C-alpha cells in the first residue's frame, strides 16, 4: 500500500495511527500542503479532491477521506478492532470521532486558514483566535462526553477510531497554543495513547517529511 500524506495533516495522522495499530506496512508518499503540491496536475490524477490522505491499495485502487479509509482498514483487517462489537458502542465511538473530524477540523484545516488570511484579509492574530475558539469548543464537548463513560481511552480500555481522531487534534491544539485547561479526561486519554508505540511512530516528528 501507499499512503499519500503530509506530516502535519491531522487527517493523514489519523490514518497513520490506524495503520500502525493494525501493524500494516505502507510506503510513505509525501505531499507538501504548505507548498501547494496537492494542487499539482499530477496529484489531481491521484485524487480529484486534491487532498490528503489517499491510500493506494496493492491493486492500484485508491481510497480517500480519513474516516472512510480507517473504516475500510477495520473491515479488511479486523484485528485489533477500532470499532466496538456492539451497536451502541460503535455509535458512541463514531460520534466522538466525528466531533473532531466533522465539527472542529473542517473549520481549522490549512486551506480554510489560508482563505481567512489571503482572501478574506483576516489578520494573523484574528486567524489564530478563530482557530483556538473552535478547538476549545470542540474539546470541551469531547471532555463532557468522555466524563459520561470514563475509560483508559476514549471508549473503554483499547484504542478506537475516536482516539485516531483525538490525538492529532491535541497535537494541533498544542502547536497553536490553545487553552487546554479543564480537560482532565481528554488529556488523560491523550497521555494513554501516547504511551503506545503505534501513536509514537505515527506522530508528525516521526514522518520522513517532518520539518
What is the predicted pLDDT for the residue at 136?
A: 97
> Per residue in 89-108, pLDDT tens?
999 999 999 999 999 999 99
Burial of 201 (0-12, 13-18, 19+ CB in 10 A): middle
pTM: 0.95
What is the predicted pLDDT for the residue at 104?
A: 96
**Omega into 80 within 30° of 0, i.e. cis?**
yes
What is the predicted pLDDT for the residue at 110?
A: 87
What does residue 207 show for φ and ψ, rounded to 5 degrees?
A: -80, 145
- 204 confidence band (pLDDT: 50, 70, 90): very high
To the nearest 5 percent, what fractions of the chain are helix, strand and coil? Answer: 60, 5, 35
* Angle, helices 161-175/66-76, rounded to nearest 10 degrees: 140
* DSSP, res 100: I
Q: Is the Cα dihedral 32, 164, 193, 20 positive or negative?
A: negative
> Per residue in 128-161, pLDDT tens?
999 999 999 999 999 999 999 999 999 999 999 9
Q: Which residues does 127 contact at the CB level (< 8 Å), separation at least 6? A: 113, 116, 117
How far is it, in rounded angstroms, from Cα 160 to Cα 83? 6
What average pLDDT does the structure give for the chain?
96
- 15 confidence band (pLDDT: 50, 70, 90): very high
> Per residue in 31-62, pLDDT tens?
999 999 999 999 999 999 999 999 999 999 99
Amino acid at each position: 500500500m501507499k499512503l499519500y500524506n503530509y506530516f502535519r495533516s491531522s487527517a493523514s495522522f489519523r490514518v497513520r495511527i490506524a495503520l500502525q495499530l493494525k501493524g500494516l506496512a505502507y510506503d510513505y508518499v509525501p505531499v507538501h500542503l504548505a507548498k501547494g503540491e496537492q494542487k499539482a496536475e499530477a496529484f489531481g490524477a491521484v485524487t480529484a479532491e486534491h487532498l490528503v490522505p489517499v491510500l493506494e491499495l496493492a491493486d492500484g485502487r485508491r481510497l480517500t477521506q480519513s474516516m472512510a479509509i480507517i473504516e475500510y482498514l477495520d473491515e479488511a483487517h479486523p484485528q485489533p478492532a477500532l470499532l466496538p462489537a456492539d451497536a451502541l458502542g460503535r455509535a458512541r465511538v463514531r460520534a466522538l470521532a466525528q466531533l473532531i473530524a466533522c465539527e472542529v477540523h473542517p473549520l481549522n484545516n490549512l486551506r480554510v486558514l489560508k482563505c481567512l488570511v489571503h482572501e478574506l484579509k483576516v489578520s494573523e492574530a484574528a486567524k489564530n483566535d478563530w482557530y483556538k475558539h473552535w478547538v476549545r469548543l470542540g474539546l470541551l464537548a469531547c471532555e463532557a462526553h468522555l466524563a459520561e463513560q470514563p475509560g483508559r481511552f476514549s471508549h473503554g480500555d483499547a484504542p478506537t477510531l475516536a482516539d485516531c481522531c483525538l490525538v492529532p487534534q491535541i497535537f494541533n491544539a498544542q502547536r497553536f497554543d490553545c487553552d487546554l485547561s479543564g480537560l482532565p479526561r481528554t488529556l488523560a486519554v491523550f497521555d494513554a495513547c501516547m504511551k503506545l508505540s503505534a501513536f509514537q511512530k505515527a506522530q508528525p516528528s516521526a514522518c520522513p517529511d517532518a520539518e
